[in-house]
Amino acid sequence: MKNIFLAGALLVCQFSWAQYTDINIVKEVKVKNKGVVVSAHPLASEAGAKILKMGGNAYDAVVATQYALAVVYPQAGNIGGGGFLVGVKNTGEKFTIDYRETAPAKASRDMYLDKKGKANTDWSQNGRLAVGVPGSVAGFFATLKYGKLPMKKLIQPAIDLAEKGFAITEQEANLLNVHQEIFQKHNASTSMAFVKNTPWKAGDILVQKELANTLKLIQQSGAKGFYEGKTADLLVSEMKKGNGIITLDDLKKYKVVERKALEFDYKDNHIVSMPLPSSGGLLLAQMLKMSGYENLEKYQQNSAQAVQIMIEAERRAFADRAEYMGDPDFIEDKTAYLISDEYLRNRWKSFNFNKATPSSEVGKIIPQPKESTETTHISVIDKDGNAAAVTTTLNGLYGSKVVVSGAGFFLNNEMDDFSIKPGVPNMFGAVGGEANSIQPHKRMLSSMTPTILLKNGKPYMVVGTPGGTTIPTSVYQSIVNVVDFKQNANISVNAPKFHHQWLPETVMAEGNFPATTISELAAKGYIFEKVRQLGRTEMILIDDNGNIHAVADGRGDDSVAVE
Ligand code: GLY
């Protein structure tokens, strides 16, 4: 461990894992008059910071970081998936870009039901039929409208990383090893970069020539270099090797949607988050408002009272998710009503400090859990005060596990985020109904919650995390840790987290969650289940004087880079 002071930095608390010569993991930075990037991988954060140094703004940097993540963080970084961007410019302009995957034209409501009408989650989670039409590359091009630099420059760091290779971290090595068998099951190609005869270990160099060539095609031909021509042909041939249904026409017709941000006030903050088809912003608004009715700040962080209030807010919000939320281009968008005080005060009436509210009393009952913590988040602020929060995903770890042969990138398994049969839980244990049923071209409901808090009109916090359905609850807790419990960014991000999602009835809690809180709540009827980790939150806080405090979650290889 070593402390390094960066030129121009007000104060820098940095430590590096010197285990790998070229990978420095920086967990926390305090700086002024400089841009910062926080992401799941040090090389991706550095790619973004390099773009800031070249004169790019936050939107340029977030694109370069995403391209780099597609190379150095193949478990969730992607060009074969989708995501959401929430931006606030220093002019006050707010915008969101929805580059969520869509159901292919040939998709249908019951496509994952077997002959007996039983949902087959293996089809929706693994292999070619699980893949939604990727949106990421179209999203990166849509983001250019807000940036300053050409795509040719933004993609170059990723091309270099793919072509020359990079030293993998211990976490990545472990994950690759665990997935060798399933990669081989779904990929016949012997040229696949992710499979090798001997176990992966930290420091091994991962070279991805096919991916480098795919990125070069995008560099040369723009979005068409992905959605048409050689890469599109390779993707469609990959579909035909199994039961995939994405066609050239699906790829050509993919469109991003710029949506009005979901905005609401919480105490002296104005919150800007992602609207449907992500449930993230809506759930966040519901949870903050409901726990606000109990004056959450009166209680201690992670005390039994505070946690009970928050669990009950989470329970009610997630029951609404299952019933009402889906792609607003296909269903009636009830957001305004669902976040109104008129609705939420009534919903909160059943809260009782004496006992847990049974989930059956806040929504229709349907069973079961399952957990996964994929997806990845990037928080950026540039020296001019432009902010970007992006969450992007392949859905599961390495998505469908299918790599496009000849093109070198993983395809998502985002179709599993639809309600494949009303009442059947997806890989996150979330159940859904008609609002999120499959239809051609529809976007599957997401939980991603890229969020920016403003104070006096200026970015105060940029935050987000991976974690499937645990995303909105981790973002919620990270925000109240700062706003209500007055913690700094480091404590807020790394504090033990919990998660409840209406169904199952159990509350997940990280291993280091206070045992006294758990036993007090168990006495009131709450059932806790210990989980390894919840989220990997990337947070930037900016105070009134422009001092920036950026924190990368301690749960992974996440890292901050300064321009
Ligand atoms: N695939 C995780 C999400 O969109 O929430």
* Nearest atom of ligand 1 to the alpha carbon of 445: 4
Consult the annotation and say whether 321 binds a ligand.
Answer: no
Cα of 446 from ligand 1 centre, angstroms: 4
Which residue(s) pair with 98 in the sheet?
84, 257
Is 395 annotated in some ligand binding site?
yes
The SS3 call for residue 488 is coil
List all residues whose CB is within 6 A of at least one atom of ligand 1: 375, 393, 395, 417, 446-448, 468
User: Maximum distance among all alpha carbons in the chain?
Assistant: 66
pLDDT at residue 2, as a whole number? 32
Q: Active-site residues: which are they?
A: 375
Helices (H) and strands (E) in the chain, counts: 18, 19
Copy the structure tokens of residue 294: 């109990």
How far apart CA 458 and CA 270 sit, in angstroms, is: 9
* Model pLDDT, residue 312: 98
Q: What is the DSSP string of 10-65?
A: SB------TTSTT-----EEEEESS-EEEESSHHHHHHHHHHHHTT--HHHHHHHH
Cβ-in-10-Å burial (0-12, 13-18, 19+) of 190 comes to: exposed
Minimum-distance ligand 1 atom for the alpha carbon of 100: 4
Decide if 230 contacts 95 (C-beta within 8 A). Answer: no
Whole-angstrom distance between the N-terminal and C-terminal Cα of the chain?
Answer: 22
Cα 405 to ligand 1 centre (Å): 25
Q: Which parts of the chain have pLDDT scores under 70?
A: 1-22, 190, 364-373
Residue nearest to atom 3 of ligand 1 (CA): 446
- pLDDT by residue (tens digit) across 496-511? 999 999 988 999 999 9
Q: How far is CA 517 from the centre of its chain?
A: 28
**Ligand 1 atom closest to Cα of residue 279:** 5
Q: What is the predicted pLDDT for the residue at 4? A: 33
- Ligand 1 geometric centre to CA of 322 (Å): 14
Q: Which pLDDT belongs to residue 14? A: 36
Give the tokens for residue 137. 């590359």
What is the side-by-side strand order in the sheet with 528-531? 498-499, 507-510, 528-531
Q: Return the best residue to mutate from 327, 373, 397, 417 for the ligand 1 pocket (most ligand atoms within 8 A of CB).
A: 417
* Nearest residue to 275 (alpha-carbon basis) of 297, 290, 289, 259: 259
pLDDT 10s digits, 396-448: 999 999 999 999 999 999 999 998 887 777 777 777 778 899 999 999 999 99
Q: Give the C-alpha separation, 499 to 504, whole Å.
A: 11
114 is in an annotated binding site: no
Q: If you take atom 4 of ligand 1, which residue's CA is the nearest one?
A: 446
**Residue 461 CA, ligand 1 centroid: distance in Å:** 22
Q: How far is the CA of 523 from the centre of ligand 1 (A)?
A: 33
Name the residue at shortest CA distance from atom 1 of ligand 1.
395
What domains sit in the chain, N to C, each tagged with a CATH number?
45-258+375-436 (no CATH), 280-371+468-537 (1.10.246.130)
For ligand 1, pick from 411, 414, 420, 427 the residue to mutate: most ligand atoms within 8 Å of CB.
414
Tell me the β-bridge partners of 388. Answer: 87, 380
